[in-house]
Amino acid sequence: MYILGMESSCDETSVAVVEMGDGVRRICSNIVASQIDTHRLYGGVVPEIASRAHIEAISGITREALDTAGVTLSDVGAVAVTSHPGLIGALLVGVNFAKSLAFANNIPLVGVNHIRGHVAAAYLAHPDLEPPFVALVVSGGHTSIFRVRDYNDYCEIGATRDDAAGEAFDKIGRVIGLPYPAGAAMDKLAHEGKAGTVTLPSPALAGDTLDFSFSGIKTAALNYINGMNQRGEDIPRADLAASYTERIVSAIVKKTDVALEREKPLALVLAGGVAANSHLRAALSDLCGRHGVKLCAPPISLCGDNAAMIAAAGYYEFLDGNLASTSLNASALDSGE
Ligand code: KG4
Ligand code: ZN
């Protein structure tokens, strides 16, 4: 069946058509209209501007997604839309558009959790992947480890207690002059420097907790930068990026190591915008090799926010009969409440 997916939780408006069924997981179209150039002027996402830009984009890219896929609304078996978590005004645009489209055309509607959407990107990239597995979601707003028992049965076994890894990359990247969002540029810059040459504390929490904390290393890096600026010294940007990245990546790897040891899954799914990080991908590939676990990391094009992943997650909600009514609402919270 064809699922029409819609995503508007942050600064990307995306609409996709995905074909899902027995042995079929196919992306027919996945249109992403990014607002990054607009928000870059402000050094971060401005929620009000994001909502307005979603309104301007969503009708046009829905048409484009259907035309590119070569399907009409009468071919669509379900509309799946991100309903939580995210920026509330931004989410409301997608939810209301999806509701109107679904009910005007008598198509079932499904509300999708954005984080589960990121995990579902792995189904599209790895046709044989099935739960149970462990999922590591690393994005601008989340850093969490899940035990995924079934397609719609998630248990969070670790989460950040403060900042997400993406936020930690973006903040320090911005301070050293990289354009928003700085994650990808930090990744590149880190290849030009030498890890360990700037002394930073390890952000890995002590003990066997699977939680993360990145606010301490972010503050340590800020203090280092301020100290260098006060002394009028040049900041070794590449060495800082390399040292900072190494610390963040090793904390993520350390906790994932504990999770794999404890859960003994067959596969580890890596998801979220920071899943594009080359240093993290390489380190997790080594880790999974040591554990004999299959690493399922989507291609870079499916790591960031996109609607194909929402359609894939929506398909499994649809199969379980988790349909939304006309009262579907958006929520900023992970719980959707
Ligand atoms: O999943 P995503 O597109 O949006 C959220 O749901 O948060 O993630 C965006 C985050 C941003 O913080 C961005 O800087 C980061 O992913 N990111 C990266 C890389 N590419 C994107 N972080 C590190 N290395 C990258 N290559
Ligand atoms: Zn996301």
Which tens digit of pLDDT belongs to each residue from 258-273? 999 999 999 999 999 9
With a cut of 90, say whether residue 68 has pLDDT above it: yes
| Residue among 105, 142, 80, 29 at smallest CA distance from 313 | 80
Residues flanking ligand 1, CB < 6 Å: 10, 139-141, 166, 169-170, 181-184, 187, 272-274, 276-277, 304-305
pLDDT tens-place string over residues 303-319: 999 999 999 999 999 99
pLDDT of residue 36: 92
Average pLDDT of span 164-181: 96
Q: What is the pLDDT of residue 337?
A: 85
Nearest residue to 156 (alpha-carbon basis) of 167, 166, 165, 145? 145
What is the 3-state composition of the chain as percent helix, strand, coil, each rounded to the nearest 5? 45, 20, 30
Six-digit token string for 296: 């399922």
Per-residue model confidence (pLDDT) at position 274: 98
Q: How confident is the model at residue 21 (pLDDT cuts 50, 70, 90)?
A: very high
pLDDT at 131: 98
How much of the chain exceeds pLDDT 90, in percent? 98
What is the rounded distance in angstroms from the CA atom of residue 7 to the CA atom of residue 20?
18
- Mean pLDDT, range 180-199, rounded to an integer: 97
Q: Quote the radius of gyration of the chain (alpha carbons, Å).
A: 20
What is the Cα–Cα distance from 329 to 325, expressed in whole angstroms? 9
Tokens of 42: 């402000």
Residue 278: partners with Cβ closer than 8 Å, 6 or more residues away: 187, 191
Claim: this prediction has a pTM higher than 0.75: yes
Pair of tokens at residue 92: 């409301």
- For residue 12, pLDDT over 90 is answered with yes
| Sheet containing strand 133-138, strands side by side | 153-159, 143-150, 133-138, 267-271, 294-296
Query: How far out from the chain centre does Cα 224 lie?
Result: 29
Mean local confidence (pLDDT), 105-120:
98
Mutate to test the pocket of ligand 1, among 118, 169, 171, 246 (most ligand atoms within 8 A of CB): 169
